[in-house]
Amino acid sequence: MQPKRTMMGHNTKFDIPKEMGAWVLGDPNNIQIKKKPVPEPKEDEVLLKIDAVAICATDLEIIAHGKPAQIEGQMPFNKNYTPGHEAMGRVVKLGSAVDNFKIGDRVAVEIHAGCSRCEMCVKGWYTACLNYGFASKGHKANGFTTDGAFAEYMTNRTRTLVKVPDDMSDEEATLAVTAGTSMYTLDVMGGLFAGQTMVITGPGPIGLCAVGVASALGAEVILTGTRDNRLETGKKLGASHVINVTKENAVEKVRSLTDGIGAHYVLECSGAANAINDAALMIRRGGKIGLAAFPSKPVEVDIANLVRNNAYIYATRGEGKSACHRAMALMAQKRFDAKLIHTHTFPMKDLQTGLKYTRDRIEDAIKVVVRNDERLI
């Protein structure tokens, strides 16, 4: 791991070039470094010098299949588009109306800004913006509908920025988005109370961050998965119980741990084919299921069982309602150790290697980060 980069003085001068290197998506699975102009921040934006970006499974989906990225309503291939969204960096230039950030501030980046004018954005549900994919209508979601962070520089609206504590490493700061996604799902489900039971299925980056967030908020967490080493990481993040589903019947074990009643919540982070049906058998009557994963294919769901048990299902997208700010607060207060989730670091020039480690889970990679410690061009 590279040494952490601490806050630079607010009077620091940055020499901003006219051109930068950026990874650009061509045909599916074809991403290359190309020259691009360094973008200019609009009045409510800042220009960031990107220091570190965590690779997300969604990046792999976008590079291979396009969705959920959209550029003006179309697939992102051959649009001079740069992916990457779980980023942090330093503010190097301010838009004319910006007075709440200073040059040199270290910040993490929330992905979604929305259009600020549609019905959903006005209500604060900007991850469900009705103008999604149309930058011409004001929508912005870095790395999804506008240029992202696999580059040297990126512009961001100030309301999507979260200040990073001086003592937090760049790598840990990139996890604010992942933890924020977990936090947002809890919000959508109505929040939880200390002492309630939450089952988290799937110890990937979102699932493990969810363990940390839910434990920090006082829940009794049961984590299920297939890899003992990841389940052990879950214990370190606060899980009270772990279940290896290849060795035990997860539904029966959850029922046993909850005196036969079932859990208050299940947060589904695995994307497994039968995960929703299993979740429905794990919750108590009137329990809640949050969906934070993308199954690779359509799945069959036992609707009758859900109806009989008065179950509630919530599907969430991204990290809305300023959840990244609250997740960062928990991380800054050391309420859980997000560093446990970061396993590998590569230079930004070696993004292809980082993508391969993420896709193939080489050396049991969980969260892979790429760093901008040198120019790309």
Domains of the chain, each with CATH number or no CATH: 19-174+340-371 (3.90.180.10), 179-315 (3.40.50.720)
Tokens of 9: 């003085």
Any idea what the Cα angle at residue 68 is, between residues 179 and 366, rounded to 5°?
40
**CA separation for the pair 275, 297 (Å, rounded):** 13
- pLDDT class for 8, splitting at 50, 70, 90? very low
Residues 107-146 pLDDT 10s? 999 999 889 899 999 988 888 999 998 989 999 999 999 9
- pLDDT class for 173, splitting at 50, 70, 90? very high
How big is the chain by its Cα radius of gyration, in Å? 20
CB 134 within 8 A of CB 72: yes
Average pLDDT of every residue of the chain = 93
Tokens of 123: 């209500």
Residue 198: predicted pLDDT:
98
Could you count the other beta carbons within 10 Å of the beta carbon of residue 305? 12
**CA separation for the pair 169, 342 (Å, rounded):** 11
Helix, coil or strand: residue 127: helix
Give the mean pLDDT of 308-315.
95
- pLDDT class for 12, splitting at 50, 70, 90? low
Any idea what the Cα angle at residue 161 is, between residues 69 and 48, rounded to 5°?
80
Choose the weakest-confidence range: 144-148, 181-185, 230-234: 181-185
Residues 255-288 pLDDT 10s? 999 999 999 999 999 999 999 999 999 999 999 9
Crossing angle, helix 351-360 and helix 57-65, to 10 degrees? Answer: 110
- pLDDT class for 295, splitting at 50, 70, 90? confident
Q: Please list, in sequence order, all residues whose beta carbon lies within 8 angstroms of the beta carbon of residue 30, skipping any fewer than 6 positions away.
A: none
**CA separation for the pair 13, 77 (Å, rounded):** 36
Place of tokens 């150790």: 337
Place of tokens 């010098």: 49
Chain centroid to Cα 283, Å, comes to 25
Q: Please list, in sequence order, all residues whose beta carbon lies within 8 angstroms of the beta carbon of residue 357, skipping any fewer than 6 positions away.
A: 344, 346, 363, 365, 368
**CA separation for the pair 179, 330 (Å, rounded):** 9
In percent, how much of the chain has pLDDT > 70? 97
Which residue type does 127 have?
Answer: T
Which residue type does 20 have?
Answer: M
Residue 6 has pLDDT above 70, yes or no: no
Q: Please list, in sequence order, all residues whose beta carbon lies within 8 angstroms of the beta carbon of residue 195, skipping any fewer than 6 positions away.
A: 218, 219, 220
**CA separation for the pair 348, 33 (Å, rounded):** 10
Furthest-apart CA pair in the chain: how many Å?
Answer: 64
**CA separation for the pair 243, 201 (Å, rounded):** 9
**CA separation for the pair 111, 178 (Å, rounded):** 11
**CA separation for the pair 333, 198 (Å, rounded):** 22
**CA separation for the pair 255, 224 (Å, rounded):** 13
Helix, coil or strand: residue 282: helix
CB 46 within 8 A of CB 101: yes
Tokens of 364: 């049991």
Q: Cα-Cα-Cα-Cα dihedral of 349, 354, 356, 360, to 10°?
A: 170
CB 38 within 8 A of CB 47: yes
